[in-house]
Structure 1
């Protein structure tokens, strides 16, 4: 049991080793929970916490490298805040609960901007959400603007509910179908894709894979909200599935990235399918707040040849072709083997902590690295407004220190190339 108004358990250190942050983010990425829509199971838990504690606010937070994102929140209307200065940032480094009965009197919190603000935080009780591997990916917490003392049984209730939240997250990760789009999950795609790849290799059958990524999708979320983004993803998934045969495998790999496997299809046929999907998607129109919005996608295709016979290499080549499509202007198809498509430009999806450094190191901004390759990266942050077009990207976990040039930006996302 922790000491109230302390930051550690008795006789124990409260902070993890800094090197564990990379593993923590990897555990978070494996759950596939970031930027998913609100779900009733989580909403019910925060309502229960708020009612049981009679507090101003209850929330389930998930923390990546630069922000505290809310899977569920009751008592406030927000999606995320910068991770800096948040109480939950402290909580995820705890071995047990963090309870602050009066933040205004606490030496570690009394000058915190969330405390000194009007109607600021005075009471906080948070439980780290620990995966089965022992990594804290977020918190379940109760927050109030008045100091208070926990009643008997309150902390146990919060811990029990936190356990339920983690179990729900881990069950979600094991699901075979993506809840939002109805496409197969990444886990299911890898399972079925590996099976099909083994069969195609054994019997020397053709097997192309199409990877596609929606262009400037984050701008839709930033401008019109996540509900608009969810509508786009659902509609595009329905559009793609109308083109699929029963034997085809369609999956959402994460965020706005999708993949299609086309068993018993020659490379040329795969290109024709990709072109049909590109046209279908670019023809869609969405009405958000009276404004008509269209969406496009960039495609990459690769197929088995005499050199490869495994799913991972196939996906790597398709990713390289996809990023060539983006580099060439987006809303187009590139097939591996056409022109100068090199695996060097391929990027893999990651979740890593990074820092943007400029003014000779005098200014730094936390970011979350979402894609990474030999020639560039995709970076998320709270706001890109103050980021110059050239800077250094530091990724401590990889020992990376690279000079970057911005190739595109939205309010919260940068695409960069290493120079």
Structure 2
């Protein structure tokens, strides 16, 4: 069995996927209609809209099998997102890459597979629209074109999610997207008794930047700060712009001391940026940190409020 490689843009790809706050959400008719149509159009028993996460493939829509996810290491879709064209396997039982794959020798007994990568923001392949059959199969040119057209519909639905959950200026999560995804993370941490830390950042002297160098400079400062956040923390950390000059970062599974070290590393990254970019202004920030220890229960809004309060104390001092 051939385990799929990771794309070169894997870190950025995963950040985009998680910013949509779509993983582990309920089924939605707008994606289900695409997989239903694919099943009928190609006369296959199974069709999915698949999103390839760090260690799994998760099905936003799956018609024809009672599956919600499988490991990424055995996935066909993990291979499909490595290319730009439809990834088609006519008979997996005779393909040296897949003949001993657990999904071929066991349920759902894949023989034919065809997957089209789902492109996000014209750049990142987040998953696929795929069709599966238990019998060997081939597609002609017109059928391949039809499958690509259906994949474009699924891409449009992902773009609609982007508009709802992404901050237009900085292209990271907005408050709505963050709340949706952070709530899921908090539930998981509480379920498995893991620590949960949240840092509330405020960009210092943002009004001064706007007043002295104009709103375009202010926009650049916000985008620069968002870029530094996205480059400085783990791919599993959640970050968002939640207000005009306010940002948050959520760290799952990290105690307070470890989180403070991560924030200090970020501070050094900001200092290095200031030295190298020669902007007319200097980026700096105030931060408030709140850590919810294992075993303690608190809702997300209260955690945000506590971190926000500590940020203002830091700003005043």
TM-score above 0.5? yes
Q: Report the Cα offset of residue 123 of structure 1.
A: 0.3
Do residues 110 (structure 1) and 95 (structure 2) align?
no
CA shift in 2, pair 1:54/1:26, >3 Å: same
Alpha-carbon distance in 1 for matches of 2:162, 2:112: 33
Are 1:39 and 2:28 an aligned pair?
yes
Residue in 1 aligned with 2:88? Answer: 99
Q: Does 1:120 align with 2:109?
A: yes
Pairing 1:328-407 to 2, within 5 Å after superposition? 329-331=296-298, 335=306
Cα displacement (A) at 1:155? 0.7
CA contact under 8 A between 1:92 and 1:136: conserved in structure 2? Answer: yes
Within 5 Å, which residues of 2 pair with 1:82-231? 82-117=71-106, 120-175=109-164, 186-187=173-174, 217-218=187-188
Q: Which residue of 326, 329, 342 maps to 2:293?
A: 326
Match of 1:72 in 2: 61
Q: Which residue is equivalent to 1:24? A: 13
Displacement after TM superposition at 1:35 (Å)? 2.0
Taking the aligned partners of 2:176 and 2:32, their CA distance within structure 1 comes to 29
Other structure's SS at 1:84 match: helix
Alignment of 1:61 with 2:50, yes or no, is: yes
RMSD of aligned Cα (Å): 4.0
Aligned pair partner of 2:39 in 25, 30, 50? 50
Deviations 1:207-259 (A, max 9, x none): xxxxx95796238999xxxxxxxxxxxxxxxxxxxxxxxxxxxxxxxxx9999
Checking the alignment, whether the CA contact within 8 Å between 2:174 and 2:240 is kept in structure 1 is no
Unaligned runs of 5+ in 1: 1-6, 8-14, 178-184, 191-211, 223-255, 262-311, 344-419
Query: Normalized against structure 1, the TM-score is what?
Result: 0.44
Deviations 1:256-278 (A, max 9, x none): 999998xxxxxxxxxxxxxxxxx
Deviation at 1:70, TM superposition (A): 0.7
Distance 1:215 1:53 in 2: 38
Structure whose residues are more often strand by fraction: 1
Q: CA deviation at 1:34?
A: 1.6
Residue 73 of structure 1 and its aligned partner are, at CA, apart by 0.8
Q: TM-score of the superposition, structure 2-length normalised?
A: 0.57
Q: Distance between the aligned counterparts of 1:174 and 1:63, measured in 2?
A: 21
- CA–CA distance in structure 1, aligned partners of residues 14 and 186 of structure 2: 24
Please give the alpha-carbon distance, in whole angstroms, between the structure 2 residues aligned to 1:258 and 1:327.
24
- Residue 111 of structure 1 deviates from its aligned partner by 1.6
How has the CA–CA distance of structure 1 residues 132 and 337 changed in structure 2, closer, same or farther, with 3 Å as cutoff? Answer: closer
Task: Please say if residues 58 and 75 of structure 1, whose CA atoms lie closer than 8 Å, have aligned partners that are also in contact.
Answer: yes
Counting helix residues as a fraction of each chain, which structure ranks higher?
A: 2
Q: Cα distance, 1:162 vs. partner?
A: 0.8
Residue aligning to 2:267: none
**1:31 Cα deviation from its structure 2 partner:** 2.6
**CA apart distance, 1:131:** 1.3
8 Å Cα contact 1:33-1:169 kept in structure 2: no
Contact 2:58 2:68 in 1 (8 A): yes
In 2, the alpha carbon distance for the partners of 1:97 and 1:55 equals 17
Point out which structure has higher relative CO (alpha carbons under 8 A, 6+ apart). 2
**3-state secondary structure, aligned to 2:31:** helix
Residue 135 (structure 1) shift: 1.2
> Structure 2 regions of 5+ residues with no counterpart?
167-171, 193-237, 244-283
Q: Number of paired residues?
A: 213
Question: Secondary structure of 2:174's partner?
Answer: helix
